[in-house]
Amino acid sequence: MPETQPGKLLRIHVSEHDRFDGKPLYEAIVQKCREMKIAGATVFKGLEGYGRTAEIHRAHLIGHDQPILITIVDSESQVRKLIPILDDMLDTGLMAVSDVEVMRFQRGSPDQHA
C-alpha cells in the first residue's frame, strides 16, 4: 500500500463560455497548473447546473453553455499559491477547497502507458 500524505483538493466551478486571454478559461487554468508544476488537474463537462444567477447551464439545440468543473490536487502550499492567481483569472465562478489524503501510484515507466 502506498504511503499517504495530506493534500488539498480544489474544485473550480465555471461556465463553458468563460474566457481568459481569448481562450477557454478551463484551458488557461490547466495551462497555469502545468506551468506551476501542480500535481494534477482535470476538467469535467457537466450536463446541467446553475450558479449565483440561478440561470440553468446546459446543452441546447441551438447552442450550449454547459457547466465546467476543474479539479486540482496538490499539497496545501501549492494550492494556496495557486488560489490568488486563479482569483485574477475568474470573473465569475466558485472555488471549494477540501482536505484530502494523497496516494501516488506509479507502476512501471510512464513510457509504458503511451
- pLDDT given at position 63: 58
pLDDT tens sequence across 38-97: 999 999 998 777 666 666 665 555 556 788 999 999 999 999 999 999 999 998 888 999
3-class secondary-structure state, position 25: helix
C-alpha angle 6-92-80 in degrees, rounded to nearest 5: 25
C-alpha angle 106-98-40 in degrees, rounded to nearest 5: 30
**Which pTM value belongs to this model?**
0.82
Grade residue 6 by pLDDT with cuts at 50, 70 and 90.
very high
The torsion angle over the Cα atoms of residues 47, 114, 39 and 42, rounded to 10 degrees, is: -10
Grade residue 111 by pLDDT with cuts at 50, 70 and 90.
low
Domains of the chain: 11-102 (3.30.70.120)
State the greatest distance between any 2 C-alpha atoms of the chain, in Å, as a whole number.
50
- pLDDT given at position 53: 62
- pLDDT given at position 54: 60
| pLDDT of residue 101 exceeding 80 | yes
